[in-house]
Amino acid sequence: MTLASMARKYEPRNVPETKVVTSAMIASLAAEGYETVAAPFGHALVEQARKNDRIVGLSADLSKYTDLHIFAQAMPERFYQMGMAEQLLMSAAAGLAREGFIPFATTYAVFASRRAYDFIAMAIAEENLPVKIVCALPGLTTGYGPSHQATEDLAIFRGLPNMVLIDPCDAADVAGMVPAMIAHDGPVYARLLRGKVPDVLRRHKPDYKFELGRAQMIREGRDVLVISSGIMTMRALDAVERLAADNVDVAVLHVPTIKPLDKTTILAEAAKGGRLVVTAENHTECGGLGEAVARELMLAGVHVPFRMIALPDEFLEAGALPTLHDMYGLSVDRVAAQIKSWL
Protein backbone atom coordinates (compact mmCIF):
# COMPACT_ATOMS: atom_id res chain seq x y z
CA MET A 1 0.00 0.00 0.00
CA THR A 2 1.44 3.36 -1.04
CA LEU A 3 1.26 6.55 1.02
CA ALA A 4 -1.22 7.96 -1.50
CA SER A 5 -3.49 4.92 -1.26
CA MET A 6 -3.30 4.99 2.54
CA ALA A 7 -4.36 8.63 2.49
CA ARG A 8 -7.32 7.82 0.25
CA LYS A 9 -8.32 4.95 2.50
CA TYR A 10 -8.80 7.22 5.49
CA GLU A 11 -10.37 10.16 3.69
CA PRO A 12 -13.90 10.92 4.92
CA ARG A 13 -16.54 9.92 2.40
CA ASN A 14 -19.77 11.76 1.74
CA VAL A 15 -22.14 8.94 0.87
CA PRO A 16 -25.83 9.81 0.43
CA GLU A 17 -28.10 7.96 2.84
CA THR A 18 -29.77 5.05 1.09
CA LYS A 19 -31.67 1.97 2.13
CA VAL A 20 -29.35 -1.00 2.47
CA VAL A 21 -30.30 -3.78 0.10
CA THR A 22 -28.90 -7.23 -0.51
CA SER A 23 -27.31 -7.69 -3.89
CA ALA A 24 -25.89 -10.56 -5.85
CA MET A 25 -22.43 -9.18 -5.05
CA ILE A 26 -22.68 -10.62 -1.55
CA ALA A 27 -24.48 -13.84 -2.43
CA SER A 28 -22.75 -17.01 -1.29
CA LEU A 29 -22.81 -18.82 -4.63
CA ALA A 30 -24.09 -18.74 -8.16
CA ALA A 31 -26.84 -21.21 -9.06
CA GLU A 32 -27.76 -21.08 -12.71
CA GLY A 33 -31.35 -21.85 -13.63
CA TYR A 34 -32.84 -21.38 -10.16
CA GLU A 35 -35.04 -18.57 -8.93
CA THR A 36 -33.60 -16.79 -5.90
CA VAL A 37 -34.99 -15.35 -2.69
CA ALA A 38 -33.41 -12.19 -1.27
CA ALA A 39 -32.11 -12.45 2.30
CA PRO A 40 -34.38 -15.30 3.47
CA PHE A 41 -32.74 -15.41 6.91
CA GLY A 42 -33.25 -11.71 7.64
CA HIS A 43 -36.87 -11.72 6.53
CA ALA A 44 -37.70 -14.96 8.38
CA LEU A 45 -36.17 -13.57 11.57
CA VAL A 46 -38.23 -10.37 11.32
CA GLU A 47 -41.38 -12.43 10.80
CA GLN A 48 -40.69 -14.49 13.91
CA ALA A 49 -39.64 -11.46 15.96
CA ARG A 50 -42.97 -9.76 15.29
CA LYS A 51 -44.60 -12.69 17.08
CA ASN A 52 -42.01 -13.10 19.85
CA ASP A 53 -40.56 -10.08 21.66
CA ARG A 54 -37.83 -12.23 23.26
CA ILE A 55 -35.93 -12.40 19.97
CA VAL A 56 -32.94 -10.05 19.63
CA GLY A 57 -30.18 -9.79 17.03
CA LEU A 58 -26.45 -9.22 17.45
CA SER A 59 -23.65 -8.87 14.93
CA ALA A 60 -19.89 -8.37 14.97
CA ASP A 61 -19.80 -5.57 12.39
CA LEU A 62 -21.17 -7.89 9.69
CA SER A 63 -24.93 -7.31 9.73
CA LYS A 64 -25.06 -6.50 6.00
CA TYR A 65 -23.05 -9.60 5.18
CA THR A 66 -25.18 -11.94 7.29
CA ASP A 67 -28.51 -10.42 6.18
CA LEU A 68 -29.14 -9.28 9.75
CA HIS A 69 -29.41 -5.71 8.46
CA ILE A 70 -33.00 -6.61 7.49
CA PHE A 71 -33.75 -7.24 11.18
CA ALA A 72 -31.80 -4.15 12.26
CA GLN A 73 -33.84 -1.91 9.97
CA ALA A 74 -37.16 -3.40 11.08
CA MET A 75 -36.38 -3.52 14.80
CA PRO A 76 -33.46 -1.22 15.63
CA GLU A 77 -34.28 -1.26 19.35
CA ARG A 78 -33.68 -5.03 19.42
CA PHE A 79 -30.45 -5.00 17.42
CA TYR A 80 -26.99 -4.83 18.99
CA GLN A 81 -23.89 -3.95 16.97
CA MET A 82 -20.95 -5.41 18.90
CA GLY A 83 -18.14 -4.32 16.57
CA MET A 84 -15.28 -6.55 15.50
CA ALA A 85 -15.22 -8.45 18.78
CA GLU A 86 -16.55 -11.97 18.27
CA GLN A 87 -15.71 -13.16 21.78
CA LEU A 88 -17.68 -10.25 23.19
CA LEU A 89 -20.49 -11.03 20.75
CA MET A 90 -20.87 -14.56 22.10
CA SER A 91 -20.52 -13.48 25.73
CA ALA A 92 -23.17 -10.79 25.29
CA ALA A 93 -25.48 -13.27 23.58
CA ALA A 94 -25.05 -15.64 26.53
CA GLY A 95 -25.89 -12.83 28.95
CA LEU A 96 -29.03 -11.92 27.04
CA ALA A 97 -30.09 -15.58 27.01
CA ARG A 98 -29.67 -15.74 30.78
CA GLU A 99 -32.05 -12.78 31.04
CA GLY A 100 -34.74 -14.63 29.09
CA PHE A 101 -34.06 -13.45 25.54
CA ILE A 102 -33.50 -15.59 22.44
CA PRO A 103 -30.37 -14.05 20.86
CA PHE A 104 -29.40 -14.57 17.22
CA ALA A 105 -25.67 -13.87 16.94
CA THR A 106 -24.27 -13.51 13.43
CA THR A 107 -20.76 -13.36 12.03
CA TYR A 108 -18.58 -15.30 9.59
CA ALA A 109 -18.19 -19.01 10.25
CA VAL A 110 -14.40 -18.77 10.60
CA PHE A 111 -14.71 -16.19 13.36
CA ALA A 112 -17.25 -18.18 15.38
CA SER A 113 -15.56 -21.56 15.03
CA ARG A 114 -11.95 -20.43 15.47
CA ARG A 115 -11.81 -17.10 17.27
CA ALA A 116 -14.78 -17.42 19.64
CA TYR A 117 -14.88 -21.18 20.25
CA ASP A 118 -13.94 -21.16 23.94
CA PHE A 119 -16.53 -18.48 24.70
CA ILE A 120 -19.19 -20.49 22.88
CA ALA A 121 -18.17 -23.65 24.73
CA MET A 122 -18.03 -22.17 28.22
CA ALA A 123 -20.64 -19.40 28.16
CA ILE A 124 -23.22 -20.97 25.85
CA ALA A 125 -22.93 -24.73 25.30
CA GLU A 126 -21.97 -25.78 28.83
CA GLU A 127 -24.91 -23.77 30.18
CA ASN A 128 -27.20 -25.07 27.41
CA LEU A 129 -28.43 -21.55 26.69
CA PRO A 130 -30.76 -20.80 23.75
CA VAL A 131 -28.25 -18.77 21.76
CA LYS A 132 -28.61 -19.15 18.00
CA ILE A 133 -25.31 -18.70 16.14
CA VAL A 134 -25.84 -18.04 12.43
CA CYS A 135 -22.72 -17.80 10.30
CA ALA A 136 -22.06 -16.81 6.71
CA LEU A 137 -19.30 -18.06 4.38
CA PRO A 138 -19.36 -21.73 5.44
CA GLY A 139 -16.98 -24.15 3.77
CA LEU A 140 -15.90 -23.12 0.29
CA THR A 141 -18.39 -20.30 -0.36
CA THR A 142 -15.77 -17.58 -0.64
CA GLY A 143 -12.64 -17.27 -2.71
CA TYR A 144 -10.76 -15.22 -0.10
CA GLY A 145 -8.56 -18.08 1.04
CA PRO A 146 -8.05 -19.85 4.39
CA SER A 147 -8.63 -16.71 6.48
CA HIS A 148 -12.31 -16.74 5.39
CA GLN A 149 -12.94 -20.36 4.35
CA ALA A 150 -14.55 -22.22 7.25
CA THR A 151 -13.86 -25.67 5.88
CA GLU A 152 -13.67 -27.31 9.34
CA ASP A 153 -16.46 -25.55 11.28
CA LEU A 154 -18.76 -28.57 11.52
CA ALA A 155 -15.93 -30.77 12.77
CA ILE A 156 -15.12 -28.20 15.44
CA PHE A 157 -18.69 -27.93 16.69
CA ARG A 158 -19.71 -31.60 16.29
CA GLY A 159 -17.65 -32.44 19.35
CA LEU A 160 -19.32 -29.77 21.48
CA PRO A 161 -22.03 -31.16 23.79
CA ASN A 162 -25.52 -29.62 23.58
CA MET A 163 -24.81 -27.96 20.22
CA VAL A 164 -27.23 -28.56 17.32
CA LEU A 165 -25.74 -28.14 13.82
CA ILE A 166 -27.63 -27.09 10.68
CA ASP A 167 -26.27 -26.99 7.12
CA PRO A 168 -29.05 -25.61 4.86
CA CYS A 169 -29.24 -26.17 1.13
CA ASP A 170 -31.32 -23.25 -0.08
CA ALA A 171 -33.81 -20.48 0.65
CA ALA A 172 -36.49 -22.93 1.86
CA ASP A 173 -34.07 -24.43 4.36
CA VAL A 174 -32.82 -21.04 5.57
CA ALA A 175 -36.32 -19.64 6.08
CA GLY A 176 -37.57 -22.87 7.62
CA MET A 177 -34.69 -23.30 10.04
CA VAL A 178 -35.38 -19.98 11.82
CA PRO A 179 -38.64 -20.99 13.60
CA ALA A 180 -37.17 -24.44 14.27
CA MET A 181 -34.13 -22.87 15.94
CA ILE A 182 -36.37 -20.68 18.08
CA ALA A 183 -38.45 -23.67 19.13
CA HIS A 184 -35.34 -25.62 20.18
CA ASP A 185 -34.52 -24.82 23.80
CA GLY A 186 -30.76 -24.85 23.54
CA PRO A 187 -27.80 -23.60 21.46
CA VAL A 188 -27.75 -23.96 17.69
CA TYR A 189 -25.00 -23.35 15.15
CA ALA A 190 -26.33 -22.79 11.62
CA ARG A 191 -24.39 -22.27 8.44
CA LEU A 192 -25.88 -19.41 6.44
CA LEU A 193 -26.50 -18.82 2.76
CA ARG A 194 -26.89 -15.09 2.34
CA GLY A 195 -27.87 -12.51 -0.22
CA LYS A 196 -29.82 -13.89 -3.17
CA VAL A 197 -30.27 -17.52 -2.20
CA PRO A 198 -31.44 -20.11 -4.76
CA ASP A 199 -34.77 -21.89 -4.24
CA VAL A 200 -33.80 -25.47 -5.04
CA LEU A 201 -35.56 -28.11 -2.99
CA ARG A 202 -39.14 -27.16 -3.76
CA ARG A 203 -38.47 -27.52 -7.49
CA HIS A 204 -37.76 -31.21 -6.91
CA LYS A 205 -40.12 -31.72 -3.96
CA PRO A 206 -42.89 -29.08 -3.94
CA ASP A 207 -44.07 -29.95 -0.42
CA TYR A 208 -40.58 -29.73 1.11
CA LYS A 209 -40.38 -28.16 4.57
CA PHE A 210 -37.35 -27.98 6.84
CA GLU A 211 -37.64 -30.16 9.95
CA LEU A 212 -34.97 -30.06 12.63
CA GLY A 213 -33.22 -33.42 12.97
CA ARG A 214 -34.87 -34.98 9.94
CA ALA A 215 -33.33 -36.10 6.64
CA GLN A 216 -35.62 -36.10 3.63
CA MET A 217 -35.53 -38.00 0.36
CA ILE A 218 -35.66 -35.42 -2.41
CA ARG A 219 -35.34 -37.87 -5.29
CA GLU A 220 -35.52 -41.66 -5.53
CA GLY A 221 -33.00 -43.65 -7.57
CA ARG A 222 -31.97 -47.29 -8.09
CA ASP A 223 -28.18 -47.13 -8.69
CA VAL A 224 -26.67 -44.56 -6.32
CA LEU A 225 -27.73 -43.03 -3.01
CA VAL A 226 -26.23 -39.58 -2.42
CA ILE A 227 -26.48 -38.45 1.20
CA SER A 228 -25.78 -34.73 1.15
CA SER A 229 -26.02 -31.50 3.09
CA GLY A 230 -25.84 -27.80 2.37
CA ILE A 231 -25.13 -26.62 -1.16
CA MET A 232 -23.98 -30.12 -2.11
CA THR A 233 -27.60 -31.27 -2.20
CA MET A 234 -28.11 -28.71 -4.96
CA ARG A 235 -24.99 -29.94 -6.73
CA ALA A 236 -26.12 -33.57 -6.40
CA LEU A 237 -29.58 -32.78 -7.80
CA ASP A 238 -28.01 -30.99 -10.76
CA ALA A 239 -25.60 -33.89 -11.32
CA VAL A 240 -28.56 -36.28 -11.49
CA GLU A 241 -29.41 -35.02 -14.97
CA ARG A 242 -25.84 -35.49 -16.23
CA LEU A 243 -25.75 -39.04 -14.90
CA ALA A 244 -29.18 -39.91 -16.27
CA ALA A 245 -27.76 -39.40 -19.75
CA ASP A 246 -25.46 -42.37 -18.98
CA ASN A 247 -28.41 -44.39 -17.62
CA VAL A 248 -27.30 -43.92 -14.02
CA ASP A 249 -30.27 -43.40 -11.67
CA VAL A 250 -29.38 -41.40 -8.54
CA ALA A 251 -31.33 -40.94 -5.31
CA VAL A 252 -30.64 -37.82 -3.23
CA LEU A 253 -31.19 -37.82 0.54
CA HIS A 254 -30.89 -34.31 1.97
CA VAL A 255 -29.51 -34.07 5.52
CA PRO A 256 -29.83 -30.44 6.69
CA THR A 257 -29.23 -31.30 10.35
CA ILE A 258 -25.75 -32.65 10.98
CA LYS A 259 -26.29 -32.99 14.73
CA PRO A 260 -28.49 -34.66 15.83
CA LEU A 261 -28.12 -36.87 12.78
CA ASP A 262 -31.21 -38.65 11.44
CA LYS A 263 -29.68 -42.10 11.86
CA THR A 264 -32.97 -43.94 11.32
CA THR A 265 -33.61 -42.54 7.84
CA ILE A 266 -29.99 -42.78 6.74
CA LEU A 267 -29.62 -46.40 7.81
CA ALA A 268 -32.97 -47.40 6.32
CA GLU A 269 -32.09 -45.93 2.92
CA ALA A 270 -28.53 -47.28 2.90
CA ALA A 271 -29.72 -50.76 3.88
CA LYS A 272 -32.02 -51.10 0.87
CA GLY A 273 -29.04 -52.63 -0.90
CA GLY A 274 -27.73 -52.66 -4.43
CA ARG A 275 -26.69 -49.01 -4.42
CA LEU A 276 -23.41 -47.18 -4.11
CA VAL A 277 -23.65 -44.82 -1.13
CA VAL A 278 -21.95 -41.44 -1.57
CA THR A 279 -21.83 -38.61 0.95
CA ALA A 280 -21.43 -35.07 -0.38
CA GLU A 281 -20.60 -32.04 1.73
CA ASN A 282 -19.10 -28.56 1.51
CA HIS A 283 -16.68 -29.33 4.34
CA THR A 284 -13.37 -31.02 4.93
CA GLU A 285 -13.36 -34.81 4.72
CA CYS A 286 -12.39 -34.83 8.41
CA GLY A 287 -15.14 -34.75 11.00
CA GLY A 288 -18.16 -33.80 8.91
CA LEU A 289 -21.19 -35.52 7.40
CA GLY A 290 -19.20 -38.23 5.61
CA GLU A 291 -17.46 -39.50 8.71
CA ALA A 292 -20.68 -39.24 10.72
CA VAL A 293 -22.56 -41.38 8.19
CA ALA A 294 -19.71 -43.89 7.88
CA ARG A 295 -19.68 -44.30 11.67
CA GLU A 296 -23.40 -45.07 11.80
CA LEU A 297 -23.17 -47.55 8.92
CA MET A 298 -20.34 -49.44 10.61
CA LEU A 299 -21.99 -49.47 14.04
CA ALA A 300 -25.24 -50.77 12.55
CA GLY A 301 -23.49 -53.42 10.46
CA VAL A 302 -24.71 -51.95 7.17
CA HIS A 303 -21.96 -52.89 4.71
CA VAL A 304 -22.31 -51.10 1.39
CA PRO A 305 -19.95 -49.62 -1.22
CA PHE A 306 -19.17 -46.19 0.23
CA ARG A 307 -17.45 -43.06 -1.07
CA MET A 308 -17.13 -39.43 0.04
CA ILE A 309 -17.25 -36.15 -1.86
CA ALA A 310 -15.71 -33.52 0.40
CA LEU A 311 -12.99 -30.91 0.61
CA PRO A 312 -9.43 -32.17 1.19
CA ASP A 313 -7.71 -32.01 4.56
CA GLU A 314 -5.66 -28.95 3.67
CA PHE A 315 -5.80 -25.18 3.51
CA LEU A 316 -7.44 -24.22 0.23
CA GLU A 317 -6.40 -21.81 -2.50
CA ALA A 318 -7.85 -18.35 -3.07
CA GLY A 319 -9.53 -17.51 -6.34
CA ALA A 320 -12.82 -17.41 -8.22
CA LEU A 321 -15.44 -19.71 -6.72
CA PRO A 322 -16.34 -21.59 -9.93
CA THR A 323 -12.65 -22.37 -10.45
CA LEU A 324 -12.20 -23.47 -6.84
CA HIS A 325 -15.34 -25.63 -6.84
CA ASP A 326 -14.09 -27.40 -9.95
CA MET A 327 -10.58 -27.72 -8.49
CA TYR A 328 -11.80 -29.28 -5.25
CA GLY A 329 -14.56 -31.49 -6.64
CA LEU A 330 -17.68 -29.54 -5.66
CA SER A 331 -18.85 -28.46 -9.13
CA VAL A 332 -21.70 -30.28 -10.86
CA ASP A 333 -19.36 -31.68 -13.50
CA ARG A 334 -16.90 -32.97 -10.91
CA VAL A 335 -19.65 -34.48 -8.75
CA ALA A 336 -21.09 -36.34 -11.75
CA ALA A 337 -17.64 -37.47 -12.92
CA GLN A 338 -16.65 -38.79 -9.50
CA ILE A 339 -19.86 -40.78 -9.08
CA LYS A 340 -19.55 -42.26 -12.56
CA SER A 341 -15.95 -43.29 -11.92
CA TRP A 342 -16.97 -45.25 -8.81
CA LEU A 343 -19.59 -47.40 -10.57
Strand partners, 198: 36
Asked whether the beta carbons of 172 and 208 are under 8 A apart, the reply is yes
Q: For residue 260, is the peptide bond before it cis, meaning its omega torsion is within 30 degrees of 0?
A: yes
Selected catalytic residue, list 11, 32, 35, 86: 86
Strands (E), 11-78: 36-38, 55-59
- Alpha helices of 163-288 — where are they, by DSSP H? 171-183, 201-204, 231-244, 263-270
Task: Give catalytic status of residue 11 as yes or no.
Answer: no
CA distance 57 to 44: 13
Fill in the amino acid letter for 75: M
Residues 6+ apart with CB under 8 A from 167: 138, 154, 190, 191, 229, 230, 255, 256, 257, 258, 281, 282, 283, 289
Residues 6+ apart with CB under 8 A from 8: none
- SS3 at position 103: strand
- SS3 at position 312: coil
> Active-site residues: which are they?
86
